[in-house]
Structure 1
Amino acid sequence: MYLRRAQTGPASAAPRPGAVLAALAAGQFIIMVATSIVNVALPHIRSGVGLSDSGTTWVVNAYSLAFGALLLAGGRAADLLGRRRTLIAGLALFAGSSLAAGLAASSSVLITARAVQGLGAAAIAPAALALAMELFPSGAGRGRALGVWGAVSGAGGAAGVLLGGVLTQAWGWSWIFYSVALGTVLVLAAVARLVPRTAGRKSGRFDLLGTATVSLALTCLVWGLTTARDAGWTDTRVLGSLVGAVVLLAAFVVIERRRPNALIPPRLFTTGRVATGNLLMALMGSVWIALFVFLSLYQQQVLGMSALATGLGQLPFAMTNMLGATLAPRISRRIGAGATVTAALFTEAGGMLWLSRISAHGSYLTDLLGPMSLIGLGLSIGFVQMTALSVEGVPTQDAGLAGGLVNTTRQVGGVIGLAALATLAGSVTAHASARRPHLEAVAAGYRAAFGASAAILAVSAIVALLLTRGAGHRPTSTANGRPASQPQTSDI
């Protein structure tokens, strides 16, 4: 059985699957907290280490860039080197870099620490998801596990905003990183204690050339898009970076076709609905980072809410997010995975459309509470089902890579979406500033971004309707007839 421990002494009771899942989900929770915890603290961080406007954005971008660019490498490393040891190594790196960020006295140290945080997260996310899928083979158990995964992912994002506001206001911005470091150490201890040693090294060699090429391509893409928000789309550095990304991605495709140990083997897409799940995750991901950024900015810049009030104001989002993730497996069993994804995306689109009616003279209760609750519900249900589609039918030896791929599409989709939506919001605000007061112009920019997000989600729902007809939770098999992600019995 999966939970059988390697030991030489007397037999001991194996940890309960629920406890193991909780430890793994805590790893996902902590990286989602780290993703959003800096948002409300950015003004304080800027003054604390003397950052410029562009430098302030790189406190966020450095983490996102490293995280998104290295997720595929992290997933493959987990498959080849061992998921448990990759997870533990990633958590140790994450804890150390978080502590370094809190102690940083200069902008260069802080931004470097955030990049190393992203590297740790790129190892944690796919390894933890692969271990969770290995723990729960296809079926009702996997549905419940993915529900937990969706709940902690959404709750982590909202909790990060809340903790960022509370800690910044109470003890200063450094404590947002100290709290992440402490939380990561606790997760590391739980993983080391509860997660059993399973089969470690899989057959195959690491595709170093393919990994380097796609990592550089994603780095160029993310850097170009994030820089475009400040430098403009016609900046030569931005254009050069985006062209480089296209060239490197084309080279990656050519390389992968000729390599027997390809980073993304074709077999990954021959069973299940991996391609469909990743496409939908990229589309939904294109609005999720921008949502948290624009909500926090609207609450503070337009409504005048404090950092603490901004964090507390996103609690309803976290609550409905956890509710939706809990309900997602039950809904899917009733109406099918395809219908569930479609309904979730339309629900989220409705919430975004509602947000597109915000005004400079609005209030939290009338402008934000309702749509945030609706979006939290749709986002969590969609996340659970898209993750399920993205790992459906994947052979056990590729589970880490599948986890890395779905996280990559969400992260990179989020960066692309934020760049495009921020450009739209900035353009609308600049145009409106000529004839409206400043706050009204800012609100107009956010309305445009939320309206565009609603349109993207509505189109995504139609795509889901077309691509997931008949999709449901059904056991799938690998070529040797065993259920996908069947637990292994050997130990390291």
Structure 2
Amino acid sequence: MTQPEPRTHTGHHMTPRHRITLVVLLVAQFMLAVDFSILNVALPVIGSGLGFSLAALQWIATAFALAAAGFTLLFGRIADLFGRRRLFLLGLTVLGLSSLAGGLATEPWLLLTARVAQGLATAAVTPAGLSLLTTSFPEGPLRERALGLNGALMSAGFTAGAVLGGVLTDLLSWRWAFLVNVPVAAAVLAVAPSVLKESRPADRPRLDVPGAATVTGGLLSLVYGLTRAGEDGWGDPLAAGALLLGAALLALFYAVEARAAQPLVPVTVLRRRTVVWGNAAGLIAFATETSLVFLMTLYLQEVLGFSPLAAGLSFGVLGAGTVLGGTVAARVIGRLGTRRTLVTGGLLQAAATGTLLLLGEGHGWLGLLLPATFAGGVGNMLVIVGFMVTATSGLPDAEQGMATGLATMTQQVGITLGTPVMSAVVTARAGDGPVLPGIGTAVAVNTLLVLLGVTLAAWLLRTPRAHARRAAAHTPSAAPATPSPEPAAHR
């Protein structure tokens, strides 16, 4: 068995300023993750309270997802050009004000406007916060530890959002699912200016407007098409048209970037193996675990008869698994290297998800569901942290906003993509009959997707040194190749 290469790092301990910076950034990222799921339980109550039609109700979630996923890459680059700290603070201000507006809304159009503003704020704060984190901590153990905690809290926030939404809606009002953001945003804004240092390049290049227009339009079309397909099926003409338009615009974006003097995302970065395949593994990780929450919510409520609040509380075990996975991820990466951590985490997640194929009717199956979701949460978080380290390592600080913008785009699209796909699988398999067979089929598809991510990480994230060893094994007489240097985090 080949041992991982030794790794050299500078700075293994956090200073007091590092800790305060980390707390500020983690609180903001946790709040953003909560926003993705906090309204799911409250949607029917909001609909009846404000007079949304049943068909229009899904736009409360879709309006947020479109803005959050569509604009994240653009804002990631804007953070590089005009200041990450400045965009972070501006985004938090917009988030606090839009949350206040949503909590006080009396008309459907006011609520939807607030949700779009929340999505835009998320698209700004998430990449700006991640790039502040990666530039505040040197590449190596400190950054890996910070990214591990960040990933754990983001995943736990997504799970906690379902629980918190149920508690606030049952005990107070759906309006508190919005208003809870206001004091948190205010607290972060009070501390952040004195803690976070501004970072931006000395020479400010022009913004690539054609690239920004094509990638934003492509992502908006893609997210809309996926959402529409999840609701009306993959044969829906609007869904198919939006997906084709999205694919065409993203292909055009690549062509534009290849010719742009100052591209939004340099083609050299898009061709980096670690960026492309690291983000592909991350996309699968986010899509599979968040959609598994949807599938298990369906199982708990439709098969076992749990209330929304009880179903949400059941995912506390999954949240604990993600926190544990994020906590130990840096140590696992230090021992195994990033690629092996991605593979190990993916295999653990696949095994845990695969055991859910055994679920049947009756509350006794909780004895299988709870430990399986806990183990799957640990494995998924190892993949997510490994993906974040892979996708942001080896790039200069001037490109960290762009790199974290790509990673954040992967996260947002993955979260948005997973549930419609799994919903369509359940509907196609179950039809008008019992829902359990449809859930089983979707769980099988979910497991296969995780294994696809494992294969991508194992095969396509190998370093040049690994390729050289493989070639040498087949041609003993050949002279050993000299690999080009690559950051240890990619091994």
**Does the alignment reach a TM-score above 0.5?**
yes
Q: Which amino acid aligns with 2:384?
A: F
Could you tell me how far 1:365 is from its partner in structure 2?
2.7
Could you tell me how far 1:54 is from its partner in structure 2?
2.8
1:331 aligns to 2:324 (yes or no): no
Distance in 2 (alpha carbons) for counterparts of 1:357 and 1:342 = 24
Match of 2:227 in 1: 226
Alignment of 1:69-468 (within 5 A): 69-199=70-200, 202-269=203-270, 273-363=274-364, 365-430=366-431, 433=433, 441-468=434-461
Bigger shift: residues 314-323 or 362-371:
362-371
Residues 81 and 222 of structure 1, relative CA distance in 2, 3 Å threshold: same
**Tell me, what secondary structure is at the counterpart of 2:35?**
helix
Q: Which amino acid aligns with 1:443?
A: L
**Tell me, what secondary structure is at the counterpart of 1:219?**
helix
Structure with bigger RCO (C-alpha 8 Å, 6+ apart): 1
Match of 2:26 in 1: 25
Structure 2 residue ranges without an equivalent (≥5): 1-14, 466-484
Deviations 1:285-305 (A, max 9, x none): 221331222223332333222
Could you tell me how far 1:199 is from its partner in structure 2?
4.3
Could you tell me how far 1:470 is from its partner in structure 2?
5.1
Distance in 2 (alpha carbons) for counterparts of 1:471 and 1:337 = 15
TM-score (norm 2): 0.87
Bigger shift: residues 271-280 or 113-122:
271-280
Distance in 2 (alpha carbons) for counterparts of 1:46 and 1:447 = 30
Distance in 1 (alpha carbons) for counterparts of 2:36 and 2:105 = 18
Distance in 2 (alpha carbons) for counterparts of 1:295 and 1:188 = 36
Match of 1:11 in 2: none
**Tell me, what secondary structure is at the counterpart of 2:306?**
coil
Distance in 2 (alpha carbons) for counterparts of 1:247 and 1:23 = 39
Distance in 1 (alpha carbons) for counterparts of 2:101 and 2:341 = 43
8 Å Cα contact 1:81/1:202 also seen in 2: no
Distance in 2 (alpha carbons) for counterparts of 1:55 and 1:294 = 23
**Tell me, what secondary structure is at the counterpart of 2:57?**
helix
Distance in 2 (alpha carbons) for counterparts of 1:423 and 1:307 = 21
Could you tell me how far 1:282 is from its partner in structure 2?
1.4
Distance in 2 (alpha carbons) for counterparts of 1:38 and 1:201 = 42
Residues 289 and 320 of structure 1, relative CA distance in 2, 3 Å threshold: closer
Residues 199 and 235 of structure 1, relative CA distance in 2, 3 Å threshold: closer
Identity of aligned residues (%): 35
Deviations 1:314-346 (A, max 9, x none): 111111111111111111111221111101011
Distance in 1 (alpha carbons) for counterparts of 2:315 and 2:210 = 43
Deviations 1:160-195 (A, max 9, x none): 112111111100211111112222222222322321
Distance in 1 (alpha carbons) for counterparts of 2:393 and 2:198 = 24
Distance in 1 (alpha carbons) for counterparts of 2:428 and 2:364 = 24
**Tell me, what secondary structure is at the counterpart of 2:125?**
helix
TM-score (norm 1): 0.87
Deviations 1:435-466 (A, max 9, x none): xxxxxx12222222111101110121122111
Could you tell me how far 1:260 is from its partner in structure 2?
0.9
Alignment of 1:463-478 (within 5 A): 463-469=456-462
Structure 1 residue ranges without an equivalent (≥5): 1-13, 434-440, 473-480, 485-492
Could you tell me how far 1:270 is from its partner in structure 2?
6.2
8 Å Cα contact 1:83/1:400 also seen in 2: yes
Distance in 2 (alpha carbons) for counterparts of 1:457 and 1:288 = 9
Could you tell me how far 1:150 is from its partner in structure 2?
1.4
Residues 244 and 258 of structure 1, relative CA distance in 2, 3 Å threshold: same
**Tell me, what secondary structure is at the counterpart of 2:207?**
coil
Deviations 1:337-388 (A, max 9, x none): 1111101011111121122332343456324211110111111111111100
**Tell me, what secondary structure is at the counterpart of 2:222?**
helix
Could you tell me how far 1:94 is from its partner in structure 2?
1.0
Residues 442 and 276 of structure 1, relative CA distance in 2, 3 Å threshold: same
Residues 396 and 301 of structure 1, relative CA distance in 2, 3 Å threshold: same
RMSD: 2.2
Could you tell me how far 1:139 is from its partner in structure 2?
1.3
**Tell me, what secondary structure is at the counterpart of 1:60?**
helix
8 Å Cα contact 1:346/1:461 also seen in 2: yes
Aligned residues, how many? 454
Could you tell me how far 1:134 is from its partner in structure 2?
0.6
Distance in 2 (alpha carbons) for counterparts of 1:270 and 1:230 = 35
Q: Which amino acid aligns with 2:455?
A: I
